[in-house]
Homo-oligomer: A and B are copies of this chain.
Amino acid sequence: MYLADQTWPELSDYVAEESLAVVPLGSTEQHGPHLPLSTDHTIAEGLAREATDRTDFLCTPTVNVGVSVHHKQFHGTMWADAPEFRDYVESFSRNLAYHGIDRIVFVNAHGGNQTHLREVGRRLREDEVAYAVEWMWDESIPQLVNDLFEHNGPHGGPKETAMMMHLDPENVKTDELEAARDGGLVEWSNEEASVHGARDFYDSIDNTDNGVLGDQTDATPEKGARLFDAASDQLVQLLEWLDDRRFEDLMAKPHVEPKPGSRRER
């Protein structure tokens, strides 16, 4: 159920009976010569809507601008600085608790948001406001991603290309796939991004000229459909798993024994 399309009376049952919300978050940032800047928020929204349509859990509107400063050199990349992004997401997430929401799934399609969403999740949990988890679509189906693509590329590669062919084909430039591959970096290894163990790169332009990695020509709409279905399945299962938990079991475990002060005499 998409929250924004409801009137407030239509949400009565959900508010009375349920406690879970799905929040899609992406970015608006360069994705090479073949994909639109919307890529990450389109994917996040697509998956969040699909999984909540299937399950009738609540889906909020999408946060379209995330932490993308590492793509700033490319035309049009938008970004909020990390502290402001975290605080904005924390603020509206925390306020969802007023309507009884105590568990949240951040459906995320931008790697640059991950640590920040986890930090927000920790703050909400420490205050016992909500249990929030960050879910990154491709991390839910690593095997399938590996099976489908030889060089899947962490950014703007065939996995994202295929997803966009499935979700928003009009905005994929299929005649730029070869250029994307040839102007970017096909084989990517963590070693290339580090010097004697230190990650020395800060911006995507440090590694590629056109901003993308992997072999984009390996993408097809059919592969996109498979990815989308498989990831949606995983998300549905996550929502159901989360919905089944008791709130107490989602909160932090207590201090180990002996408890602080338990044998204090004063």
Contact = CB atoms under 8 A, between A and B. Distances in A.
A71 to B, nearest CB: 9
A256 B28 contact: no
Contacts of A255: 72-73, 98-99
Interface string A1-19: 0011111110111111111
Given A91-B85, A171-B5, A28 B260 contact: no
A9 B79 CA distance: 18
B238 A139 contact: no
Copies, count: 6
B264 A16 contact: yes
A191 B69 CA distance: 30
Given A28-B60, A98-B260, A7 B19 contact: no
Interface in A223-265: 231, 234-235, 237-238, 241-242, 246-247, 252-265
B252 A9 contact: no
Output the residue of A197, A205, A247 with the most chain B CB within 10 A.
A197
A16 B198 contact: no
B33 A9 contact: yes
A31 B7 contact: yes
5 contacts: A8-B256, A14-B75, A77-B99, A98-B260, A195-B238
- List the 10 closest pairs (A to B, CB-CB), nearest first: A140-B197, A100-B260, A4-B38, A61-B64, A88-B88, A11-B75, A16-B258, A196-B238, A84-B91, A8-B30
